[in-house]
Amino acid sequence: MEDFLDEKWIIEESAAQALVEILNSQQGKRYKIVTHDDRPDIVIENQEDGTRLGVEVTHLFYDSEEARYVFGRSHEEVDHPPDSEYIEGYVRRLNALLQQKSEKAKGYNHQYPLALLIRVVSPLFHICNFQIYASSIVVPPSDFEIIWLLFYDFVERRWALLKRLQ
**Residue-by-residue pLDDT tens, the chain, 166 positions:** 445 558 889 989 999 999 999 999 988 889 999 999 888 999 999 999 999 999 999 999 877 776 666 665 666 766 665 567 778 888 999 999 999 999 999 878 778 999 999 999 887 788 888 888 999 999 999 999 999 999 999 899 999 999 999 8
CB atoms within 10 A of CB 56: 22
pTM: 0.88
Q: Hey, CA dihedral for 11, 15, 16, 20, is it positive or negative?
A: positive
Distance between CA 153 and CA 143 in Å, rounded?
A: 29
Give the SS3 label for residue 62. coil
Cβ-contact 95, 88 below 8 angstroms:
no
d(CA 98, CA 5): 23
Residue 121 · residue 61 · CB < 8 Å: yes
81 upstream amide cis, omega within 30 of 0: no
